[in-house]
Chain A
Amino acid sequence: MISALILIPFVAGLVAFIPQPAGRRRLLLFGVGAVHAVLTACCWVQMPDAILGGWLALDALGLLFLSLTSALFLAAAIYSQGYLAEAGGQSYEDAEEGFLVDNAPEAVFIGCLFFFLGAMTLVTVSQHFGVLWVAIEATTLASAPLIYFHRHHRSLEATWKYLLICSVGIALALLGNFFISVAAIGPGQEQGRLTLTELVARGSRLQTPWLKAGFLLLLVGYGTKMGLAPMHTWLPDAHSESPSVISALLSGALLNCAFLGILRATQICQAAGLGTFSQDLLIVLGMVSLGVAAVFILGQTDFKRLLAYSSVEHMGLLAIGAGLGGAASFGAMFHAVNHSLAKAALFFVAGHLLLLYRTKSIADVKGVLRAAPVSGVLWLAGFFAITGMPPFGTFLSEFTILKAAFEQGRYAIAAACLLFLALIFIGMATAFLGMTQGPPGAGAPTPRRVAWTMLLPPAALAAFVLLLGLFVPGSLSQLLHDAAQAVGGL
């Protein structure tokens, strides 16, 4: 089962590079997405067995993020049908400067999408820290060409920054792995293996200083990938310059994978009795991320960058949730789900706006509700969802995290969170309301229908978030609880 989950995308990736009519390739994209989703669904029914001697196995934590990845990929696969028809092809008119740029060949796009999916799947199922590292680095390499799909200098710059910064981070994470492996070998002990179960089992016998240093490096390394400030700097560029469908995957799936990497490391710290140590670090980075997000969301002029910074904000919330532990880690898991769905939906709609208005500048997009009602409604719904307004799921998850903060008597943290969230809300409200309401005005787009394949995914995702705000299905909350327990919460 697991092998299938990993191999199918890689094989499909290779197939995608074989010259063939575009239609078939797109069909393949959809098919693989569907199959992958089905397989993942099966994992819900019955947890698959570990393979490679326990190196690759699926636990609650993995299944949670695997499901997110798979669902978002399916949505992206459907969305891409319309997107490639619209913006794909040989050349593409650049939104900002308006000159024609040529696209990367569709084979590369779809192929890399498959590799990306495969790498992310590997991340979610790997129980071995080495494999985890390899997989995460692989996601970087697979996604770089995707960001550079529309070949103009800004996307090039974004890709370069993405590649360099993330590689640096990942390299640090590698050293972290080595340190942990050293930590696993007490003086005169048999050589250690880097599988999670092993390390957790050794628990308190791990060597504290090495473990501390190792976790720290992993945190900085994977934190770079996850977009925790101040290592988040690649994120707004990459998200704003890549095609919207890719931005959705980056923000909704990739960041979670990096978060998973950090969570794995915290699991060890928990086992080694270094819980508070790891949690302090997470909370600090989380607060910084919230603050930075607030700074850049207020007065933001580019709606895709706005969404990117909002991702930084929510990654910060996840870190804080995981850092607070207890009920908050449940909240963090829940929030990861809500954020992925809502943010992906928003990026999809951002794709519509980009197609309709040919600009990313907030000031030039006006009256979406009148110009493109469906996209407008989705855009507004996404806004309320991402800012944690009831009846959307994000409210419940943020509420849970804040509640834990208050329960633990950490009033300063809670107050700061509330303050930053309020500032962020003001910033986003200004942007979104200005875009959606009122008459379309001068920059009104030529009225054209957006393909249903591009409308369906965001609508479905938004509906999911709404549903999660009204009630949380038992199986999901069970899974979330298990995942939270795995990282030392409840």
Chain B
Amino acid sequence: MFIDFILVLVLLTNLKLLGSSRLGACIRVAAIQGVLLGILPWWAHGHPAAFRVLGVTVGTVILKGVVFPWLLFRALREAEVSREVEPFVGYVPSLLFGLGGLATAFWLSTRLPLTSVVHSSLLVPAALFGIFAGLFLIISRKRAVNQVLGFLVLENGVFTFGAGVIGETSLLVEVGVLLDVFVAVFVMGIMIFHINREFDHIDTDRLSSLKD
């Protein structure tokens, strides 16, 4: 079914994020992921797309596909950092981890029975894998920008599932969620700006003076 096709694409984007070495590329991939998530609800349901689904889709595509990438690129320009990702963990190991995470995600998904609303057996693995990928990006990369990116991916992972079962949650909550995520990323952008101003760099490994 078509939804599976989209989910597979999402999985691949995540893998690409783990593997790619260029910040710009990562941001673009994240944007693509956002768009994919935006259109996911259309196929997520048997019943014809309601108005609210449309609204949510539009919102999602605009935010995740346009606004966030723009914000991130702007932050990059502000910080005029080199385009390298500068990972703690290399790209090949990252990919290997990605495979491991994928396996874990599938294993966990077997623990959760399918229900009428989860229309694809790929939904849960894709969501979990997105989360794992996001967490891994945050953990394994040095740059503050990378961490915002990781947070976005994590958010997308959650959203994958949400979009899959969107029928069950109400519009108000959807909007609230989107709003919150937006503000979160916005504030993070501001913080990056400040960090850059304070330290003239956005390597978070220098952000470790507070400790015991």
* Residues of A in contact with B (beta carbons under 8 Å apart): 128, 130-131, 133-134, 137-138, 140-141, 144-145, 148, 151, 153-154, 156-161, 163-164, 167-168, 171-172, 174-175, 177-179, 181-182, 184-189, 191-194, 207, 209-210, 213, 236-237, 240-241, 296, 300, 305
Contact = CB atoms under 8 A, between A and B. Distances in A.
Interface of B: 111-113, 115-118, 127, 131, 134-135, 138, 144, 147, 151, 154-155, 157-158, 161-162, 165, 167-170, 172-173, 176-177, 179-180, 183-184, 187-188, 191, 194-195, 198-199, 204, 207-210, 212
A154 B209 CA distance: 7
Interface of B is mostly: helix
A451 B201 CA distance: 41
Contact of B158 (A140, A178, A185, A193): A178
A151 B131 CA distance: 33
A250 B112 CA distance: 36
A156 B194 contact: yes
Contacts of B113: 207, 209-210
A181 B161 CA distance: 11
B177 A130 contact: yes
Contacts of A138: 180
Contact of B191 (A163, A184, A237): A163
Contact of A168 (B154, B162, B167, B176): B154
A467 to B, nearest CB: 35
Given A141-B187, A156-B198, A171 B112 contact: no
Contact of A160 (B118, B177, B195): B195
How would you classify the secondary structure of chain A's contact residues: helix, strand, loop or mixed?
Answer: helix
B169 A141 contact: no
Contacts, number: 138
B212 A134 contact: no
Given A130-B169, A153-B209, A163-B191, A185 B115 contact: yes
Contact of A187 (B115, B147, B167): B115
29 contacts: A130-B172, A133-B176, A134-B173, A134-B177, A134-B180, A137-B180, A138-B180, A140-B184, A156-B194, A156-B198, A163-B191, A164-B151, A164-B188, A171-B131, A171-B151, A175-B158, A178-B169, A179-B161, A182-B165, A185-B115, A185-B116, A186-B115, A188-B116, A189-B116, A191-B117, A193-B170, A207-B113, A213-B111, A237-B210
A175 B127 contact: yes
B188 A130 contact: no
Given A182-B168, A187-B116, A134 B176 contact: yes
Given A130-B172, A137-B184, A141-B180, 13 more contacts: A134-B177, A141-B187, A144-B191, A160-B204, A167-B151, A168-B151, A171-B158, A175-B161, A179-B112, A188-B116, A193-B170, A194-B169, A213-B112
